Amino acid sequence: MRVSARKSSRVRSLTVLKAMVTAAIVLQRFAVPLGSEQVSFVLVAEIALLGVLFVRGELLLERKRTLWYLIAVAACLAAAAIASDSGDGSSLPSILLLIAMYAPFCLTLTPSLRRLYRPVLEFFTALMAIVAVVAVLQMLLQLAGWSYSDPLASVPSDVLAQGYNTAYPLEYGSAIVKSNAFVFLEPSFLSQFLALAFIVELTTGARLWRLLLYFGAMLTTVSGTGVILLVFGLVIWLFKRADTRPVLFLVPFVVAVGVTLATPVGTLFSTRISGEGSTQTSSSNARFVQPYERVYDDLNQSVPHSVVGRGPGFAERDADEVFVQQGIPIVYPVVPKLTFEYGLFAGLLFAGFIVFAFLNRTPSIVIASSALLMHFLLSGSLLQAHTLYLCYILTSLFAATEVEKRWDHRGGRRRVMVATS
């Protein structure tokens, strides 16, 4: 009877975890209106679902992460207070959002529930396989003559997240839009999620048809960020395997790339990649060059700015100003945004907390390092709930805190892991 009760409890817990994964994927276009502002519906849903796990006594406070979080938050609050007094101004909602969104990273599942890691990974890859099919059909239907229309167009605008390039044409003047599977905020986010699903699939089962499906769906997004993540993840995976046999597994993808390059989609991809770094208004320049240059110049010119930053929310205000004046859609990744707004000390301290939370005793270094790259560099996602909480579910939520069995990605074996705290 007791065994049956434990099994039923685990099923309910797994259902909550699957709901968290689902929310990060299918609810990201929705928002909760708060006056003139919006809060991501994903954030609300994830906090509510974590609340369910907390009430059920299935979450533990991780001591080292909590201590680092509290110190980093205190440093950011002090920097924000000084910046506000200096006249640069501070956005109270921005720092409150920072504090609230990262607080769950202090929590981890109880040891018995960490055995659910593999089922959660498999659910994620299965759900992304469905998303990939939708993305491919979205592109094929357009190529066959269907005129794209947003299925959420009838939803009131105040409950849809604003400020994203959800329907993005293949090129200027084109009637065909890049695939976003209808539920993703932008094609680039879909590209990154597909790349992460590809990497997770490699660590769990490596079903060839799914890998080909993810790869094909990535092509329909015509986004380079997913390609960057995929290459990075493959390198880490091959390094962890420490043998040459997996290289043969990549042969179908080399063939697929060659075939793709001979198609119109391949031509568009190669044209986009070759022109990305050559213009100041390109997305790669706006994402990987301009933010770092602007922050470096600003910190170099002012000692107070390097110490306490410009205040919470300044990066968004600066990006809006640059777009109005120069037409460059700057996207501030995690480190430039933190240092721009909170200065070098507090900003890098908080960035260090994020790295520690992602990598410290998490179940799979391949998945954790790939998720960290996506969060830190590719998404501009310091305060983007859908990316942040998917990464949290796949890394920190399942991090170990004591001697326990830990899933080993090589062959699905288990090993004993002795924690240091």
Higher pLDDT, 402 or 215: 215
pLDDT digits (tens, 9 = 90+) for 306-322: 888 898 988 888 888 88
With a pLDDT cut of 90, the percent of the chain lying above it is 57
CA 297 – CA 337 distance, rounded (Å) = 14
Mean pLDDT of 42-67: 96
Of 98-107, 136-145, 217-226, 268-277, give the lowest mean pLDDT range: 268-277
Residue 408 pLDDT more than 50?
A: no
CA 266 to chain centroid:
26
Dihedral of the alpha carbons of 405, 387, 380, 383, in degrees to the nearest 10: -100
Residue 244 pLDDT > 80, yes or no? no
Identify the pLDDT of residue 268: 54
What is the sign of the dihedral through the CA atoms of 324, 328, 331 and 332?
negative
Amino acid identity of residue 250, one-letter, is L
181 closest CA partner among 210, 220, 230: 220
Name the band, by pLDDT with cuts 50, 70 and 90, for residue 259.
low
Can you tell me the distance from the alpha carbon of 339 to that of 335, in angstroms, rounded to the nearest whole number? 6
Predicted pLDDT at 170: 85
pLDDT on residue 85: 66
Q: CA dihedral in degrees (282, 284, 286, 288; nearest 10)?
A: -160
Taking the C-alpha atoms of residue 147 and residue 149, their distance in angstroms, rounded to an integer, is: 6
> Quick one: which of 166, 161, 173, 171 has its CA closest to 149?
166
Strand pairing category for 31-34 and 404-407: unpaired
The 10 Å Cβ neighbour count of residue 400 is 21
* pLDDT score of 319: 84
Q: CA-CA distance, 53 to 62, in Å (whole number)?
A: 15
Question: What band does 251 get if pLDDT is binned at 50, 70 and 90?
Answer: low
pLDDT in tens, 390-407: 999 999 999 987 444 444
> Which residues make beta-bridge pairs with 303?
none
Res 195: pLDDT: 97
Beta-bridge mates of residue 60: 108
**Contact residues for 161 (Cβ-Cβ < 8 A; gap 6+):** 28, 29, 30, 31, 38, 40, 185
The enclosing H or E element of 37 equals: strand 37-40
How much is the pLDDT for 269? 53
pLDDT of 168-210, one tens digit each? 898 877 889 999 999 999 999 999 999 999 999 999 987 899 9
Q: Tokens for 62, please give them.
A: 């991780």
Angle, helices 314-326 vs 290-301, to 10°: value is: 110
Phi, psi at 279, each rounded to 5°: -120, 150
305 — pLDDT class (breaks 50, 70, 90): confident
**For residue 357, which of 300, 397, 324 has the smallest C-alpha distance?**
397
In the chain, how many domains are there? Answer: 1
With CA atoms as reference, report the closest residue to 127 among 41, 234, 19, 283: 19
Mean pLDDT of the 22-39 span: 92
Residue 344: name the closest of 307, 377, 315, 304 by CA.
307
Does residue 154 have a pLDDT over 70?
Answer: yes
Q: Looking at 1-10, 37-46, 228-237, which range is the least confident one? A: 1-10
For residue 85, the one-letter residue type is D
- Domain membership of residue 176 as a residue range: 2-417
Residue 282 confidence (pLDDT): 63
Q: Which helix (H) or strand (E) holds 107?
A: strand 107-109
* pLDDT-based confidence at residue 69 (cuts at 50, 70, 90): very high
Strands 31-34 and 37-40, bridge-based pairing: antiparallel
State how far the alpha carbon of 379 is from the alpha carbons of 190, 236, 314, 322, in Å: 11, 20, 18, 19
354 in Cβ contact with 375 (< 8 Å): yes
pLDDT, average across residues 211-218: 95
Examine the pLDDT at 60 and tell me if it is beyond 90: yes
Contact 141, 181 (CB under 8 A): no
pLDDT bucket at 92, cuts 50 / 70 / 90: confident
Highest mean pLDDT among 214-223, 245-254, 276-285, 394-403: 214-223
Decide: 179 and 172 in contact? Cβ < 8 Å. Answer: no
Residue 369 tokens read as 């390092």
Higher pLDDT, 316 or 47: 47
Alpha-carbon torsion (338, 358, 100, 18), positive or negative: positive
> CA-to-CA distance for 128 and 366, rounded, in angstroms?
18
**Mean of pLDDT values over 325-352:** 91
Over 70: is that where the pLDDT of 249 sits? no
pLDDT value of residue 411:
45
Instruction: Please report which helix (H) or strand (E) contains residue 417, including its range.
Output: strand 414-417
pLDDT score, position 88: 58
Higher pLDDT, 372 or 248: 372
Q: What pLDDT was estimated at residue 248?
A: 56
Nearest-angstrom CA–CA distance, 315 and 319: 6
- Residue 130 pLDDT class (50, 70, 90 cuts): very high
Mean pLDDT of the 366-375 span: 96
Beta strands in 283-413 (DSSP E): 404-407
Average pLDDT, the chain: 85
